[in-house]
Amino acid sequence: MVRQNKTNKVWFITGASRGFGRVWADAALKRGDKVAATARRWESIAPLKEKYGENVLTMELDVTRPHQVKEVVAKAHAHFGRLDVIVNNAGYSLVGTIEEASESEVRALYDTNIFGAISVVQAALPLLRKQGWGHILGISSGLGHVTMPLIGYYCSSKWAFEAIHESLAAEVKPFGIKVTIIEPGAYATEFGSQSSLKFAGELGIYAELRTHFMGRLRNAERGDPNATPEALFKIVDAENPPLRLFLGSQNLPWVRAAYAERLATWEAWESVSNSAQGQSK
């Protein structure tokens, strides 16, 4: 069985028009790799073709259209002859309390963040399995472990995203396919800007909470997205990459504290939990 090289990889990246997707596409191309870059609007990624020529394939892709996903993934594989790294990156955030967001807004969020990601995985797996290798990078968030008010539905999409990719990792390991969940903290990308967020309708009773949250968002310390490619390269070049990787220094202390609190609560209520076991049968 042919193995992929540690260098000269072929990447397939969704959401490559801006943010991490654009930074990583550009960095992979600069190091001599090849990239199939996709975005909802082709013109947003056209400059990559102008800059890198034959090393990049730019394609329009709406991940909420499963048939288009399958066609585009197959086209990328046929064009380069293989796909080494699948970067499942497309997604967005919905700002609104649990009460405020409408059913249609939540469904649209999940169509992109969950069902779109599933479509990419399901389109890529037969090709990766046939070639005998591949590495799927699921781009999650530190919010796949903790939550914040006003973006609860976004957090919930990342919790689901984490579970799907963790199960996937166990399912595809026998085929030589690796999975890593990438969990960035807050970064100075367009993702967190008001122009990149979708907002649910507002109820006056949450006005104070909203003001506090948006102020916190504006004043949050943000990492430099251009500092992230080397960490990503270490993951895709590793013989045994981890299932999860935080990007940035903020997530580990936050998640460590959250899990310590959860464990303390479960342990404090352990006797009540155990009493619900009943008699063994």
Sign of CA dihedral 236, 229, 126, 122: positive
pLDDT level of residue 220 (50, 70, 90 thresholds): confident
Of residues 45, 255, 221, the one with CA closest to residue 12: 45
For residue 215, give both structure tokens. Answer: 């102020």
Residue 21 pLDDT greater than 60, yes or no: yes
Instruction: Look up the domain containing 126 and give its range.
Output: 10-271
Q: What's the pLDDT tens digit per position in 82-135? A: 999 999 999 999 999 999 999 999 999 999 999 999 999 999 999 999 999 999
In this predicted structure, what is the pLDDT of residue 1?
Answer: 39
For residue 19, give both structure tokens. Answer: 């943010």
* Domain-embedded: residue 60: yes
Average pLDDT over residues 184-193: 73
Q: Can you say whether residue 170 is alpha, beta or left, with left for phi > 0 and alpha for psi between -120 and 50 degrees?
A: alpha
In this predicted structure, what is the pLDDT of residue 270?
Answer: 97
Q: Is 140 a catalytic residue?
A: yes
Helix (H, G, I), strand (E, B) or coil at 254: helix
Average pLDDT over residues 173-195: 82
For residue 261, give both structure tokens. Answer: 């609190």
Q: Is 198 a catalytic residue?
A: no
In this predicted structure, what is the pLDDT of residue 68?
Answer: 98
Q: Which residue is catalytic, options 9, 141, 156, 158?
A: 158
Q: Which residue is catalytic, options 17, 93, 140, 157?
A: 140
With contact defined as beta carbons under 8 Å apart, do 18 and 44 qualify? Answer: yes
* Domain-embedded: residue 3: no
Q: Which residue is catalytic, options 9, 154, 156, 178?
A: 154
pLDDT level of residue 2 (50, 70, 90 thresholds): very low
The CATH number covering residue 121 comes to 3.40.50.720
**Residue spans of beta strands (DSSP E) within 151-228:** 177-184, 198-199
Q: Is 275 a catalytic residue?
A: no
For residue 169, give both structure tokens. Answer: 């990792």
* pLDDT > 90 in the chain, percent: 85
Residue 240 pLDDT greater than 70, yes or no: yes
In this predicted structure, what is the pLDDT of residue 3?
Answer: 47
State the Cα angle at 206 between 204 and 212, rounded to 5°: 125
* Domain-embedded: residue 70: yes
pLDDT level of residue 216 (50, 70, 90 thresholds): confident
Of residues 116, 146, 151, 229, the one with CA closest to residue 124: 116
What one-character DSSP code corresponds to residue 145?
Answer: T
| Domain tally, the chain | 1
* Domain-embedded: residue 1: no
What residues contact residue 228 under an 8 Å CB cut-off, 6+ apart? 20, 23, 24, 184, 187, 247
